[in-house]
Homo-oligomer: A and B are copies of this chain.
Amino acid sequence: MAVGSGELPVLHPIDGVKIGVASAGIKKVGRIDTVVFELCEGASVAGVFTLNAFCAAPVTVAKEHLASTSPRYLLINTGNANAGTGQAGLLNARNSCAALAKEVGVEASAVLPFSTGVIGEKLPVDKLVAAMPAAIAALSADSWERAANGIMTTDTRPKATSRQIEIAGRRITVTGISKGAGMIKPNMATMLGYVATDADIAPNVLQAMLDQSADASFNRITIDGDTSTNDACVLVATGRAGGEQLTEASGPVFDALQQVFNEVFLELAHAIVRDGEGATKFVAVEVTGAKDVSEALKVAYAVAESPLVKTALFASDPNWGRILAAIGRAGVESLDVAALTVHLDDVLITEHGGRAESYTEAAGAAVMKQAEIRIRINLNRGQHAETVWTTDFSYDYVKINAEYRS
Tell me the A residues contacting B by CB distance below 8 Å. Answer: 51-55, 81, 83-89, 118-120, 182-183, 185, 187, 224-229, 305-308, 311-312, 314-315, 317, 319-322, 324-330, 332, 335, 337-338, 350, 352-355, 393-395, 397-399, 401-403, 405-406
Contact = CB atoms under 8 A, between A and B. Distances in A.
Nearest to A326: B226
A337 B305 CA distance: 26
A354 B85 contact: yes
B54 A327 contact: yes
Contact of A355 (B84, B308, B320): B84
A53 B327 contact: yes
A354 B86 contact: yes
B229 A324 contact: yes
Contacts of A332: 53
Contact of A402 (B54, B314, B324, B328): B314
Contact of A84 (B52, B321, B401, B406): B321
A52 to B, nearest CB: 4
Contact of A325 (B51, B86, B229): B229
B328 A53 contact: yes
A226 B306 contact: yes
Given A120-B321, A227-B325, A401 B312 contact: yes
A325 B402 contact: no
A208 B330 CA distance: 26
A67 to B, nearest CB: 20
Contact of A405 (B226, B319, B402): B319
A54 B118 contact: no
Contacts of A52: 325, 328-329
Given A119-B325, A307-B224, A86 B338 contact: yes
Nearest to A230: B325
A115 to B, nearest CB: 12
B353 A86 contact: yes
Contacts of A319: 119-120, 405-406
Nearest to A183: B308
Contacts of A327: 53-54
Contacts of A88: 354
Give me the 3 closest cross-chain CB pairs, A-B, nearest first. A119-B321, A54-B328, A86-B354
Nearest to A81: B321
A406 B314 contact: no
Residue of A83, A185, A224, A402 ringed by the most chain B CB atoms within 10 A:
A402
Given A321-B83, A322-B406, A328-B54, A307 B120 contact: no
A398 B401 CA distance: 13
A88 B395 CA distance: 37
